[in-house]
Amino acid sequence: MHLIWLAFCDELKRGFSMIVLTRCAQTAIVLAIVVAISSVITPTPAQANAGELIAAVLGVLFCLAVLAALVAILAFAILLIFKLGRVILRKLRGSNDDGSQTRFYDVASMILVMTVLGIASLEGVTNAFSFATRNSTTATRLINAPVEQVWDTMETATSPQFALPKFLQIFPQPVDVVIDQGTSLGALRQVAFRGREGAGDLTLRVVNRTDDRAVFAVLSDTSPIANWVSHRFITYHVNPVPNGTVLNVTLEFDRELAPSWFFTPLTNVAGYFAMDVLARDVKIRSENRL
């Protein structure tokens, strides 16, 4: 749009490429800040008891926040690369003339940027343009209680009696435990989720149970969070230590969104915080039972 505007104003003079890139970076950063703040302070449908229309609007707003963040990061990175390139050219030429004030430089710069963005936009469209989506994250807590007490606590799933991390509030959140059959082999656990994208349930079954491990496999996921990640397994692993029990909670999942450089760290961090909430809840309840 900045390029079209310069052409409309007949301002495509030598050096226009850096003007376009600078304006793109500035616009993208402002857009990301405005939309992200709007998304954060706007309540989710679960919080506002919003109807379908309002829920849809809030969902679109949140998606815009993510897109704005992506564009801002890309625009800033491209601008930084071009500025670094100019410095390198000056060093190689041994003068302050890096050739950036030529029409060839401007046209080549715009073609290069559009080519890179075009190729990058293909990620996730097909498997051939996708990076590995399989991820896992683990949260660890030391519990001042014996292993037996920890297992007894994990037989019942409850809503945490503490505030969730602020970071998790942008994602769909669990609101109820619909089915809870404990941690024995074959036991079912169904958790209801609600968020900007709607509502649904995550259903799990214990498929592996030993003295120190319980593995919940995901049977189905109709929750809004399935738009972000596809849950595979949640594993509780306990290890007795002299002063209590070390609890590891591991989430294995597939990332559903691209690009990977943005969503892999985001989903890993979100997964860690979510597993830490589960581990912290078990820790608090186990120690309170003593």
Amino acid of residue 150: V
DSSP-H helix ranges across the chain: 2-8, 16-41, 45-48, 52-93, 103-120, 147-154, 260-288
**What percentage of residues in the chain have a pLDDT greater than 90?**
33
Kindly indicate the confidence band of residue 43, based on its pLDDT and cuts at 50, 70 and 90: low
Q: What is the mean pLDDT of the chain?
A: 81
For residue 38, the one-letter residue type is S
Q: What is the mean pLDDT of residues 120-142?
A: 83
- Residues 194, 173: contact at Cβ < 8 Å? yes
Closest C-alpha to 79, from 33, 8, 29: 29
Reduced to 3 states (helix: H, G, I; strand: E, B; else coil), residue 182 is: coil
Closest CA to 82 of 23, 32, 17, 31: 17
Cβ burial of 82 (10 Å; 0-12, 13-18, 19+) is middle
The pLDDT score that the predictor gives to residue 278 is 93
Start-to-end Cα distance in the chain: 64
Indicate the residue type of 229.
Answer: V
Question: pLDDT tens for residues 84-124?
Answer: 776 776 777 666 665 556 677 777 777 877 787 777 777 77
Block residue for tokens 């397994």: 233
- Whether residue 275 is predicted with pLDDT greater than 80 in this model: the reply is yes
Q: Mean pLDDT: which of 32-36, 98-102, 126-130, 265-269 is highest?
A: 265-269
Is the Cα torsion angle 139, 145, 150, 156 positive or negative in sign?
Answer: negative
**pTM of the predicted model over 0.75:** no
Highest mean pLDDT range out of 91-100, 208-217, 266-275? 208-217
> Tokens 């896992």 — which residue?
136
pLDDT at 153 over 80: yes
pLDDT at 251: 96
Reported as a pLDDT band with limits 50, 70 and 90, residue 169 is: confident
DSSP H or E run through 253: strand 244-255
